[in-house]
Amino acid sequence: MAPVLRVLVVDDSAVVRQGVLSLLQHVPGMVVEVASDPLIAKQKMKSQRPDVILLDLEMPRMDGLTFLRELMREQEPVPVVVCSGLAGPGTETAVRALQEGALEIIPKPQLGVGEFLRESRARLVRSLRDAARARSRLVRRGTPVKEEPERPPPSMLTVTTDRVVAVGASTGGTEALRQLLERMPPDCPGIVIVQHMPEQFTSAFAKRLHQLCRIEVKEAEQGDRVQQGRALIAPGNRHLRVRRTGGHYQVELMDGGRVSGHKPSVDVLFQSVARAAGENAIGVLLTGMGEDGADGLLAMKQAGADTLAQDEASCVVFGMPRAAIQRGAVDEVVSITGMTDAVLRRARRVRVH
């Protein structure tokens, strides 16, 4: 028998609480409790700790972001899925929620909430179950993490202009990408990224990272050049490929179906980099659920690229890195705190043709 999954719904709307309760209470193995605000939720958590929380952000007495921040600072953080009208596509609030530790964002309409919940039942169930599986991998925020000693980057990297770093991430990837990119020097190799994220969220996410980093971070546009000191993030619902044009690389955006269950897909990115850059590439697979990116990273390795994967201890979900390791696609397994240094160290090794 599957273990019971305890869900706590924290929302000040009685319509939402009753709607979610009626939708989920008949799901096999799922037990649902409700609370009208975070203070009531705290009291309920003292007697019965939930496995996952479905959280609104706009509530009386304590807002959802503050509650989320407190949850992530606990000794054993509870996984959180945000379902809020404030966290619409492209909003700063949605990006803030992801950076504070939410594992998924489900935008909630201002009108027609009941119909929306009924139509979104399958997504709600999947999101809550996926988040609960990530519970043991959540990192307590505000807690010192044992870091690998950092070596200061050189003032100038000895790299050719045609190096490219391809990065894939999913659940937990927003924080992992922040740690990876914040440490990058202004003359780092060009970086292309697929982060599983809904359409229109990636623009706000890229802008937020751009404010935090020494390099340029932007949502990729058709024909953008991959160049030193720049990171390009695939837009939600568009595949991103890299192609070589003369002596440099450019990105192209594509529609089409899901690949490896996702759009954008890490496999699509990695396989294009394997073809376009070969041994002049570095592949990095970060935290995430499922297997997207594992086959693509293997293609990169077979093409001569250096390949790295985030280690289990620092992953929120070890699924994607584990799948790549099991395929023999990974040269080195690295903690997220040491990933930037590992990328730069390999980038300094000039390939001579």
Catalytic residues: 170, 196, 292
In the 8-state DSSP scheme, what is residue 85?
Answer: S
In the 8-state DSSP scheme, what is residue 262?
Answer: B
Check: CB of residue 271 under 8 Å from CB of residue 301: no
Which amino acid is residue 314, in one-letter code? S
Peptide bond into 264 cis (omega under 30): yes
Residue 135: which region, alpha, beta or left (left: phi > 0; alpha: psi -120 to 50)? alpha
Rounded Cα distance between 71 and 263, Å, is 30
Pick the closest to residue 282 from 215, 213, 351, 224 (CA basis). 351
The contacts of residue 27 (CB under 8 Å, 6+ apart) are 125
Check: CB of residue 308 under 8 Å from CB of residue 342: yes
Which amino acid is residue 248, in one-letter code? H
**Surface-to-core class of residue 111, CB atoms within 10 Å of its CB (0-12 exposed, 13-18 middle, 19+ buried):** exposed
Calculate the CA dihedral of residues 231, 285, 153, 174 and round it to 10 degrees: 60
Counted residue by residue, the chain has a size of 353
